[in-house]
Amino acid sequence: MRNVLTIAGRELKSYFVSPIAYVVLTGFLLLGGWFFFNLLARFNSILTYYSMQQNPQVLQRLNLNEFVIAPLLHNLSVVLVILVPVITMRSLAEEKKAGTYELLLTSPLRVSEIVLGKFLGSFVFVAIMVALTGVYPLILFAYGEPETGVVLGGYLGLLLMATSFVAIGLLASSFTENQIIAAVSGIVALLLLYIVNWPADNAGETIGALLRYLAITEHFAQMVKGVIDSKDLVYFATVIVLALFLTHRSVESVRWR
């Protein structure tokens, strides 16, 4: 465990001494703010419209969770598809390029300690990113009454999704010593995972169900609605564990060649 923390600590620090961390954090918060502002403005105009129409039935159904927070979380998740692989791209690829991979692998470390340390370091960074966007829902709590449970469920979903992305990004980084290749293959893999359910409606029943199950968005959408089902938690856990397991094999594979 000490070794895992040592590696994670170095990883996390290395984010903050390079400009990447600040660029990514700023970009993410800037986009988040832009989404938030526009969603709120739209919500406001819808609210005004239906108040003028004096349509109490519709007005009752308008709420902050569904009209502001849910789309905000969905938009943020799309941005994470692109940004998380950019964060994780250097993780192992850079070590290979700089030759420090040899240092790690000739130290009395287990491969699992290296992989978990790398994962933990990136996870903490991404968790900070996600947590900082919490400021937007907090603003809503100050001026309105969103449902706390739904907001927390949605954020748990966003965090789990981001964590899965970190694990997959790390896997992509383990295959190559080229950071660009790591980032691009990571983004492509995540996008596919994101939209793999698109043909689900036209595919057969079984395949359709399978595609829907595979798509990370389906599980995320449930959590954004505030539905926390063990089925979805199991899905995220499976993705994370599987990606870490494959990363482990990939790092270990230097010993097979």
Partner 1 sequence: MLEVRNLTKRYGDIVAVRDVSFSAAQGQILGFLGPNGAGKTTTMRILTGFQPATSGTAKVAGFDVFTESAEVRRRIGYLPETPPLYADMATEPYLRFVARIKGMPKAAIEDAIERVVKLCGLTTVRDRLLGHLSKGFRQRVGLAQALIHDPPVLVLDEPTIGLDPRQIIEIRSLIRELAGQRTVILSTHILPEVSQICQKVVIINEGRVVLEEDMAALTRSGSLEEVFLRAIAKETVEESGVSSEEQG
Of positions 45, 107, 148, 238, contacts partner 1 by CB under 8 A:
107
Contact between 57 and partner 1 by CB under 8 A: the answer reads no
Of positions 48, 100, 148, 238, contacts partner 1 by CB under 8 A:
100
Sheet strands (E) in 96-171: none
Which are the contacts of 129, defined by CB distance < 8 A and separation ≥ 6? Answer: 24, 25, 28, 83, 162
**Which is closer to partner 1, CB of 7 or CB of 171?**
7
Contact between 109 and partner 1 by CB under 8 A: the answer reads yes
Of positions 57, 106, 202, 206, contacts partner 1 by CB under 8 A:
106
Tokens of residue 68, six digits? 């502001």
**Which is closer to partner 1, CB of 143 or CB of 256?**
256
Q: CB–CB of 244/119 below 8 Å?
A: yes
Question: Which of 240, 245, 186, 238 minimizes the C-alpha distance to 213?
Answer: 238
Contact between 19 and partner 1 by CB under 8 A: the answer reads no
Tokens of residue 28, six digits? 């993410």
**Which is closer to partner 1, CB of 13 or CB of 42?**
13
- Angstrom CA distances, 153 to 69, 70, 145, 214, 221, stand at 11, 11, 16, 20, 10
Report, in Å, the least distance between residue 245 CB and partner 1: 21
Tell me the longest C-alpha to C-alpha distance in the chain: 73
Judged by CB under 8 A, how many residues of this single chain contact partner 1? Answer: 25
Residues lying near partner 1 in the complex (CB under 8 A) = 2-3, 6-7, 10, 14, 17-18, 98-110, 254-257
